[in-house]
Amino acid sequence: MRILSGIQPSGALHIGNYFGMMRPAVALQAEGEALYFVADYHALTSLRDPETLRANSRRVALDFLACGLDPERATLFRHSDVPQVTELAWILSTLAPMGLLERATSYKDKLARGMSANVGLFSYPILMAADILIYDSDVVPVGKDQKQHIEITRDLAVKMNETYGQIFKLPEPRIQPETETVPGIDGQKMSKSYGNNIDIFGDEKEMRKRVMSIVTDSTPVDAPKDPASSTIFKLYSLVAPKNEIAEMRERFLKGGTGYGDFKKQLFEKLWEYFAPMRQRREEILADRSYIAAVLARGAKRANEIADRVMERVRKAIGLR
Ligand code: AMP
Ligand code: TRP
């Protein structure tokens, strides 16, 4: 089984990225050949400062490694180290109906939030399809927001297979139901672009401040509170042991505890949860050549697979 996923280097990683994609990706590296990449080509649709792109890309690689990606088991590489993927994206685009992309909700969302409509942003799902198909991927661990992109990938693979004969496998999304959409501090989906994120590797003061500013309703301290609709409780459920989750639920239902106290409890657990990863991150940082070496090895392996698949594709469509 081949497992593939990517993450954009558009800024610091947050706990939505962690629980939605990175943790499942780390768990899957034991189940097959895993390939994970820093999607720098994708980030170009919104990021235009070369130094920032370079720094962010390195930082995403660092953070992913700190969160448990094991380069002895999984391949970590930079998107742009496999430029053949843009060739495949072109080929796929020649079969992609406009309507398929016009229906993509992430594009519509971005426009609604005021991003300018460049062609790259519009055709992003085609590049993402190429990312997945060029490695003959079976399984793609992602958060729920990416589900439609995987459906588009499957549609494009089917079109290629119908047109040129069996070229591609159809990949399956792997979405963890309990972490498919991690809420941010305003209760909406956590996202850097909504400004409601809690970063994995922010410093202590910053993480505390973000947690303390989680939006709550105006239920008085003494009154019972609803755990199911509470962002505090949802986030606590991701990081606390079962018995402590049950305890917090009871204290919500009983009343007598204010949201401020629950937030403090959440902060302590969150901080503790990521402590081993912070330590690992320091260790990686101490070895100055480590990340570059991992990425170079990853690029080599990713290219081997991509080259083989591209030979198959070029032959099938008449470019060879
Ligand atoms: P992005 O930051 O958009 O590149 O997202 C990287 C990965 O994290 C994708 O698989 C997303 O689906 C996942 N992700 C991002 N935000 C969330 C969230 N709030 N809840 C669950 N998964 C998320
Ligand atoms: N679109 C994904 C995101 O924004 C990142 C991504 C790019 C990706 N290519 C991919 C994820 C291929 C999985 C597979 O989160």
- 282 domain-assigned: no
8 in ligand 1 pocket by Cβ < 6 Å? yes
- 191 domain-assigned: no
Determine the pLDDT at residue 118. 87
- Annotated catalytic residue 242: no
- 186 domain-assigned: no
Same domain, 20 and 43: yes
When divided into structural domains, the chain yields a total of 2
Check: CB of residue 248 under 8 Å from CB of residue 227. yes
Same domain, 46 and 173: yes
Same domain, 119 and 74: yes
Same domain, 145 and 243: no
Give residues (CB < 6 A) around ligand 2: 4-8, 39, 42, 128, 131-132, 140, 142, 146, 149
The pLDDT of residue 115 is above 90: no
Determine the pLDDT at residue 320. 84
- Mean pLDDT for all residues in the chain: 96
CATH code: domain of residue 96: 3.40.50.620
- 261 domain-assigned: yes
Same domain, 112 and 71: yes
Ligand nearest to the Cα of 189, by number: 1
pLDDT tens-digit series, residues 120-130: 999 999 999 99
- 44 domain-assigned: yes
pLDDT tens-digit series, residues 297-314: 999 999 999 999 999 999
- How large is the average pLDDT for residues 70-74? 97
pLDDT tens-digit series, residues 21-65: 999 999 999 999 999 999 999 999 889 999 999 999 999 999 999
pLDDT tens-digit series, residues 73-106: 999 999 999 999 999 999 999 999 999 999 998 8
Structure confidence at residue 10 as a pLDDT band (50, 70, 90): confident
- Annotated catalytic residue 209: no
pTM above 0.75, yes or no: yes
CATH code: domain of residue 241: 1.10.240.10
From 21, 193, 237, mutation site for ligand 1 pocket: most ligand atoms within 8 A of C-beta: 21
pLDDT tens-digit series, residues 181-228: 999 999 999 998 899 999 999 999 999 999 999 999 999 999 999 999
Determine the pLDDT at residue 146. 95
Same domain, 223 and 78: no
Same domain, 50 and 177: yes
Determine the pLDDT at residue 116. 81
Same domain, 151 and 57: yes
Structure confidence at residue 242 as a pLDDT band (50, 70, 90): very high
Same domain, 154 and 9: yes
Same domain, 309 and 245: no
CA of 140 to the centre of ligand 1 (A): 13
Determine the pLDDT at residue 309. 98
- 188 domain-assigned: no
- 241 domain-assigned: yes
Same domain, 248 and 297: no
Instruction: Give the structural domain span for 217.
Output: 202-273
pLDDT tens-digit series, residues 132-188: 999 999 999 999 999 999 999 999 999 999 999 999 999 999 999 989 999 999 999
d(CA 41, CA 52) in angstroms, rounded, equals 14
Determine the pLDDT at residue 114. 83
- 158 domain-assigned: yes
Same domain, 301 and 268: no
Structure confidence at residue 110 as a pLDDT band (50, 70, 90): confident
The pLDDT of residue 107 is above 90: no
